[in-house]
């Protein structure tokens, strides 16, 4: 993992376009939380956060879910600090058994859909009774994705986006809004 260059990160943010501001993000997360609460409220699901990008969304979503749940994480990635997807890398499986459970997988972005589809299929192979998916952002890239998210907070254009869990060269996952890099 490389060290973030402060000046480069600041320049990237200064030159970026705001796609969804902080108020829009908060409103979208509240809407998704209400829908998930209505759908899964009596089912006590296992909620799995896809690290690392899904952490911000999962953290804020969990505080708005109004039902008992169990929480765990898994770590699967195709990006690392790159700006394009590569080979799938499983870094950590959930510690909690998914057998006979209703599982809600929470991730940052549905880009090409490869990672989320593999996660869903693997959880079903491990015996999950049902797998639902919630993503903070669904990229409008015109691709025929192998999976559609059950719950989507925001749609983003076919650009390289960052903020709210999504990074650009390892930086800016901590932003409360969503930005797009110029030129990517």
Mean pLDDT, to the nearest integer, of 47-60? 96
Q: What is the pLDDT of residue 85?
A: 54
What percentage of residues in the chain have a pLDDT greater than 90? 86
**Taking all residues of the chain, what is their mean pLDDT, rounded to a whole number?**
93
How is residue 144 written in tokens? 């025929």
Picking from 164, 174, 175, the residue whose alpha carbon sits closest to that of residue 28 is: 164
Q: What is the pLDDT of residue 91?
A: 83
Distance of CA 4 to the CA centre of its chain: 22
- The pTM assigned to this predicted structure is 0.92
Q: What is the pLDDT of residue 164?
A: 98
Domains and CATH numbers, the chain: 23-80+87-160 (3.40.50.2020)
Q: How many CB atoms lie within 10 A of CB 28?
A: 20
Residues in the chain: 184
What percentage of residues in the chain have a pLDDT greater than 70? 94
Q: What is the pLDDT of residue 77?
A: 77
Per-residue pLDDT band for 184 (boundaries 50, 70, 90) equals low
Q: How many CB atoms lie within 10 A of CB 154?
A: 21
Predicted confidence (pLDDT) per residue in 57-96, tens digit: 999 999 999 999 999 999 987 655 544 555 777 888 888 9
Predicted confidence (pLDDT) per residue in 114-129, tens digit: 999 999 999 999 999 9
């Amino acid at each position: 993992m490389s060290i973030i260059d402060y000046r480069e990160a600041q320049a990237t943010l200064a030159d970026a376009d705001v796609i969804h501001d902080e108020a829009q993000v908060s409103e979208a997360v509240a809407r998704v939380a209400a829908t998930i609460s209505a759908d899964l409220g009596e089912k006590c699901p296992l909620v799995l956060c896809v690290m690392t990008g899904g952490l911000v969304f999962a953290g804020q979503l969990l505080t708005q879910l109004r039902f008992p749940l169990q929480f765990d994480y898994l770590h699967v990635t195709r990006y690392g600090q790159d700006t394009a997807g590569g080979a799938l890398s499983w870094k950590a499986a959930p510690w909690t058994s998914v057998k006979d459970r209703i599982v809600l997988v929470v991730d940052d972005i549905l880009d090409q859909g490869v990672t989320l589809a593999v996660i869903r299929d693997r959880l079903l192979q491990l015996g999950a009774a049902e797998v639902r998916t919630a993503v903070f952002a669904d990229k409008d890239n015109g691709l025929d994705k192998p999976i559609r998210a059950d719950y989507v907070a925001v749609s983003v254009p076919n650009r390289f986006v960052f903020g709210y869990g999504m990074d650009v060269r390892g930086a800016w996952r901590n932003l409360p809004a969503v930005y797009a890099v110029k030129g990517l």
